[in-house]
Amino acid sequence: MKVLIVKTSSMGDVIHTFPAVEDARRNRPDVSFDWCVEEAFAGIVALHPAIATIHTVAIRRWRKSPLGRGTWREAAGLRRALRDCRYDLVIDAQGLLKSALVAKQAAAPIAGFDGSSAREPSAALFYDRRYAVPRDLHAIERTRRLFGLALGYEPDFSGIESGIVPPAGGSIFVGEKPTFLLHGTSREDKKWPASDWIETARLLVERGMTPVTTWSNDREKAVAEAVAEAVPQTVLVPKSPLAEIAAIIGRSVLVIGADTGLTHLASAFGLPTVAVFLATEPGLTGPRGPFSSTLLAAPGGRLIPAAVVAEAEKLLRLKSLAAT
């Protein structure tokens, strides 16, 4: 059986789908999987060994020129590629109108959330098989349930495995006991103040660890440079391709991150990961992993670096105990 997964974005949503793929690998070894994803996240999907072919969409880029010749040419090429693969089933794991329209291009039966379960109920109108999955569950569990219903098995929720390992590479030396500080995130209200990242770096150095940080835009660069200037032991990784950053994260002993996709990636790698949530509710979308923890600021309050580092030390002890 040949199945296409449609989960185009964002990075965290893509990573949240991996445990469902692992369930399917164990319960339906007769199924092979391809994936359709936003071009920026193709490298993330490639981390999972069960994915044979990766089709890319560029919806974010196409929106800037919806009537452009290049847009129509690329969209037509995707349509041909999906139909040429002759899928037995498409699973739209995103539940949005845009993902349903992408799924429709494959000209195969589509399975997805029903109207009461999908993030955009209108998406369910495009599905041939609709499944009710409670919306008050974590995104990972919702996706695992959807795959189980679509492929005919009951997931084992006693554990969670992503099935991915860090990529090879990461040639930049990041010191002894590297701890990646992932301060960058898409929304201003999700960002921990630079002063708190600086204090966190200081506390880590006191504990014999090496803070590591990087940046992807000018605002993030300013924060990263401020941390490196205030705490000279910090390794400042220049703006780099996603695969390089993923490899460096994979070599870290600890990750402390804001509500961002790379924090979810660290958790999926099974690394001790502390997620700092300031403005969003982590209950349904926060990182999930054997050594992951999410700290949520109280309304109108703040998270202090000492509390974050204390949580990190607890996770490191758990990881050490698990290894013995």
pLDDT tens sequence across 155-208: 999 999 999 989 887 667 788 899 999 999 888 878 899 999 999 999 999 999
Q: 226: which strand partners?
A: none
Spell out where 128-171 has E strands: 129-131
Task: Provide block-wise average pLDDT over 10 residues at a time, the chain (324 residues).
Answer: 97 97 98 97 96 94 84 94 98 98 98 97 98 96 98 95 87 85 87 96 98 95 97 96 92 95 96 90 84 87 93 96 88
Report CA-CA distances (Å) from 212 to 75, 129, 224: 39, 46, 9
Strand order of the β-sheet with 254-258 is 235-236, 210-213, 178-182, 254-258, 273-277, 292-296
Report CA-CA distances (Å) from 269 to 67, 235, 256: 40, 21, 14
Region label for 224, one of left (φ > 0), alpha (ψ between -120 and 50) or beta (otherwise) = alpha
User: Residues 111-138: pLDDT tens digits?
Assistant: 999 999 999 999 999 999 999 999 999 9
pLDDT of residue 298: 78
Q: Report pTM.
A: 0.94
SS3 at position 178: strand
pLDDT of residue 170: 64
